[in-house]
Amino acid sequence: MADRGALKFNQLQSRKKSLKFSRSAIHDWGLYAEEGISKGEMVIEYVGEVVRGSVADKREREYERQGIGSSYLFRIDEASVVDATKRGNLGRLINHSCDPNCTAKIITISGEKKIVIYARREIGVGDEITYDYHFPIEEDNKIPCLCGAVKCRGYLN
């Protein structure tokens, strides 16, 4: 029998949340709710190509070389990364916030890992969807955070 995560995921597939992309005060484009979303509900899956960590590292350097400013690489674990740069859905447009209204969770469906974005509090119509990227802290190449939250940490990494 399917577990709770799988059941909820199937519900998300059949009744998708109404979302739209628009310009964001945080960065470039962002994703917005077009309907109210309750705490705990699934918002969207972060879809992309699943690649090994070493492949993702190579691609990241290549994307930087090509001047692709935004990173659409989402690390699942030590071994795998979801790359939404060339193949993805609207989930790739979600910006980071230090006080986000969503959280990203890894769930396993039929042995396949998936990244799913859940509401961590009530989301109103027109609210920008955000989650905490939890980028590892770096000494150099700091990316200033523009989330605007009162408790903003100042940097994405």
Ligand X SMILES: C[S@@+](CC[C@H](N)C(=O)[O-])C[C@H]1O[C@@H](n2cnc3c(N)ncnc32)[C@H](O)[C@@H]1O
| Least distance from Zn ion to the Cβ atom of residue 35, Å | 26
Nearer to Zn ion among residue 67 and residue 144 (C-beta): 144
User: Of 26, 33, 50, 117, which one interacts with ligand X (CB under 6 A)?
Assistant: 26
Smallest gap from residue 141 Cβ to Zn ion (A): 17
Per CB under 6 A, 27 contacts ligand X: yes
Strand-pair category, 112-119 with 42-46: antiparallel
Q: Choose among 97, 100, 95, 101: nearest CA to 124.
A: 101
Binding-residue pattern over the window 78 to 117 for ligand X, x denoting contact by CB under 6 A? --------------xx-xx---------------------
Q: Are 34 and 123 in contact (CB under 8 A)?
A: no
What tokens were used for 54?
Answer: 């070493």
In a 3-state reduction of DSSP, which class is residue 55?
Answer: helix
Instruction: Compare residues 8 and 27 and give the one whose CB is closer to Zn ion.
Output: 27
Tell me the one-letter amino acid at 101.
Answer: N
C-beta of 129 vs 145, nearer to Zn ion: 145
- Sign of torsion over alpha carbons 139, 144, 145, 149: positive
- The one-letter amino acid at 115: I
User: Judged by CB under 6 A, does residue 131 bind ligand X?
Assistant: no
In the complex, the residues that contact ligand X under the rule CB under 6 A are: 24, 26-30, 69-72, 92-93, 95-96, 145-147, 156
